[in-house]
């Protein structure tokens, strides 16, 4: 009797274990042990140097912060006491000086620190390397080539020179002839309207941003109304010209001194990819069903962007 009872107990236990396993499988429950090392903070660099900058002449800055984990809700930490340098080939040409609070920042009211860079001798076609070291972080670097400056040979403002293919609206057009417009080059264009007011015996002026309209599908709009494009995107539409459409001019009384100013930036391939990815990231919003966008970085062993650009302002009378 004892043997029979023991056999029944074992058989019952085995059947019960099979039922439990079957229930677990049917419930689609899988337990996996995962060894997670956690987030290891890296250096995040923002270094955009603009030769012939549209802003006031003076030093330019490198902003240096520590990267955060996805679930880290703490404030972004800035990194002081780092070694920041720029080299032309093997020669060091500039060394960053830490500034605890950078004045006159248009994009934030918070206190921001960074590294002031004084050197302005960047030359087209030369190779430059940014190197950053800071205690507690892996050293980072980025190497780029300074782009050529566009050679402008003509500028035209054509009233209602472009017809919007979507709505048939007539748009004003700016046509800029460029001798060295070529494939493999990258550009950013932005447009301002400079408007004058008569105040007694004094003329006051105001500057406002205008939105440029793509004339082809390969132009990319930026958040502030500019256009991002490559040389090959333009050469397919016209020969050695960039054609930028815009809406009709201001509806108020136009002062005879009013004019447009076109900001044309010659940028690197890295900066093109970075701006494009940031715009795509911003356009996603909070939609959980859109494929995630990874913001482009050219910082080795870290995150961010090192960019060298040529800028020129072209005055245009309507």
Chain segment 82-119, per-residue pLDDT in tens: 999 999 999 999 999 999 887 655 555 567 889 999 99
Q: Say yes or no: do domains 43-145 and 152-267 share a fold.
A: yes
pLDDT score at 25: 43
Q: Give the residue from 272, 309, 236 showing the smallest Cα distance to 60.
A: 309
Contacts of 250 (CB under 8 A, 6+ apart): 193, 195, 258
Q: For residue range 146-197, what is the model confidence (pLDDT) as tens digits?
A: 999 999 999 999 988 888 877 778 888 999 999 999 999 999 999 999 988 8
Question: pTM of the predicted model, to two decimals?
Answer: 0.81
Q: Please give the CATH topology (third level) of the domain spanning 152-267.
A: Immunoglobulin-like (2.60.40)
CATH number at 43-145: 2.60.40
Is the pLDDT at 143 greater than 80, yes or no?
yes
| Domain extent listing, the chain | 43-145, 152-267
DSSP notation for 75-126: PPPB--S-EEEEEETTEEEEE-EEESS-S--TT-SS---EEEE------TT-
| Predicted local distance difference test score (pLDDT) of residue 256 | 82
Quote the mean pLDDT of the chain.
82
| Phi, psi dihedrals of residue 303, rounded to the nearest 5° | -135, 155
């Amino acid at each position: 009797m004892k043997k029979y009872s023991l056999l029944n107990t074992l058989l019952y236990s085995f059947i019960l274990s099979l039922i439990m396993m079957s229930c677990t499988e049917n419930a689609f429950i899988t337990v996996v042990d995962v060894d997670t090392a956690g987030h290891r903070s890296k250096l995040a660099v923002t270094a955009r140097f603009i030769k012939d900058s549209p802003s006031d002449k003076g030093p330019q800055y490198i902003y240096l912060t520590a990267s955060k984990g996805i679930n880290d809700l703490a404030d972004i930490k800035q990194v002081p006491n780092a070694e920041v340098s720029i080299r032309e080939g093997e020669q060091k040409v500039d060394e960053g000086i830490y500034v605890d609070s950078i004045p006159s920042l248009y994009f934030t009211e918070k206190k921001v620190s960074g590294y002031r860079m004084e050197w302005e001798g960047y030359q087209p076609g030369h190779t430059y390397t940014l190197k950053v070291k800071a205690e507690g972080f892996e050293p980072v670097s980025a190497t780029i080539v300074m782009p050529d400056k566009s050679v402008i040979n003509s500028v035209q403002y054509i009233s209602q020179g472009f017809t919007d293919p979507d709505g048939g609206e007539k748009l004003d057009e700016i046509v800029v002839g460029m001798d060295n417009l070529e494939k493999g080059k990258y550009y950013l264009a932005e447009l301002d309207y400079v408007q004058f007011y008569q105040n007694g015996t004094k003329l006051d002026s105001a500057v406002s941003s205008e939105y440029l309209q793509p004339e082809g599908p390969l132009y990319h709009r930026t958040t502030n109304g500019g256009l991002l494009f490559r040389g090959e995107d333009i050469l397919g539409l016209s020969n050695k010209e960039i054609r930028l459409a815009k809406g009709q001019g201001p509806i108020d009384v136009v002062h005879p001194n009013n004019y447009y100013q076109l900001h044309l930036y010659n940028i690197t391939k890295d900066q093109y990819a970075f701006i494009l990815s940031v715009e795509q990231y911003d356009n996603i919003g909070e939609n959980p069903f859109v494929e995630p966008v990874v913001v482009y970085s050219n910082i080795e062993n870290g995150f961010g962007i090192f960019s060298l650009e040529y800028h020129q302002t072209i005055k245009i009378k309507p």
